[in-house]
Each structure stands twice: as structure tokens, then as C-alpha cells.
Amino acid sequence: MDKKELLLNAALKLFVNHGFHGTATSKIAQEAGVANGTLFQYFKTKDDLVIDLYIHIKEDLAEYVSKNTDHQADIKEAIKTQILSSLYWALDNPTHFQFIQQVHTSPYIGKIDQTILNKQVEPHLTLIQKGIKQKVLKQLPADLLYTLITHQVFGLYQFITSKNLSKKKQHETIQTTFDLLWDMLS
């Protein structure tokens, strides 16, 4: 593993466990097993580190969702696959998903280049717009429907992780919740 990857992994662990303000860059370097100055060779500031880590994790999630989505499927199945893939990825990568949630509820989200954020949501918005155009989804703004979907994913993740559900019960809860969400969207 290269030094940048060691730093990103250390930062992820410390940010989730201690928060952004509770994590000094010296602690990140120490956790990564590198000199403090090494961190600044890769990231000019702690803000840059947070943003780079967020983009890295979101790209990972997007790749996973895209790989698991049948782009030829009908709208309902494609949206369902995206939602389920996101949830299962989150359940398999809880620290990563907690970090995403941390950034979304912090001022850091406003520091990320809007073109990067737009690129991240573009595949989802395109699919939603297609569903609206085909009258499969309600005739509402695509970004509103996307917001409803993402908040559903965040909320369902919180519910599942707080309940200590078996894998079978998790799967049943996810399926039932998708059906409820679909009824709302369509």
C-alpha cells in the first residue's frame, strides 16, 4: 500500500471515530506510520484531505453501483438495483458510509467542486429523468426525487444498523422499504 493510501485509510478511521475537528493531521500521520510532513506532500490542507477522501469513497461506491446495475433493465429494476446496491455496499463498508454521512452533514460538502458533485449524481438523475419522461415516475423535479431516494437510503441504513437484524431480516426490510419508496415515487 502506498503512503497516500495509508494516509487515506488512517484519516477515514480517525475522522469517523473522532470527528473532523477532533482529528489532528499529526494523529493521521502517526496512525498511517508516516512522518507528519509526508501528509502535506499529498494534501495541502486537512480540508483537501477530507475532500479527497470523500471523492475517493464516492467513486468507489459509484463504481460498485454501476457494476451491479443492468443499464438495459426497465426503470423500476434499474432504480431498485441502484438503491439496493448502495445499501448493501453501505452495510459492507460501514466506516466508509458513515464518513459519507459525516461529510453530507458538515460544511465540507459545500467545499467540494460542484462539477464533481454533479458528475457523481448524473447517472442517477439521468435514470430518474428517463423515468419521468416515460411517466413511470411522478412528474416532479428529478433532483427532488433523487433527494427523496438518497434520504431513504441514509435513513434505512441508520435503522438497519441500529437494530442488529439478521441478514435475512435486513434483506426483507430493504425489500419492503423499496416497495414503499416505489409507491411514493411512481
**In the prediction, which pLDDT does 138 show?**
97
> pLDDT at residue 80 above 90?
yes
Span 3-55, pLDDT tens digits: 999 999 999 999 999 999 999 999 999 999 999 899 999 999 999 999 999 99
Average pLDDT over residues 123-131: 95
Domains of the chain: 1-43 (1.10.10.60), 46-185 (1.10.357.10)
**In the prediction, which pLDDT does 85 show?**
94
> pLDDT at residue 1 above 90?
no
pTM: 0.91
Mean pLDDT lowest among 1-5, 68-72, 146-150, 153-157 = 68-72
Average pLDDT, the chain: 95
Give Cα separations from 72 to 127, 133, 149, 160, 185 (angstroms).
Answer: 11, 16, 21, 30, 20
Gyration radius of the chain over CA positions = 18
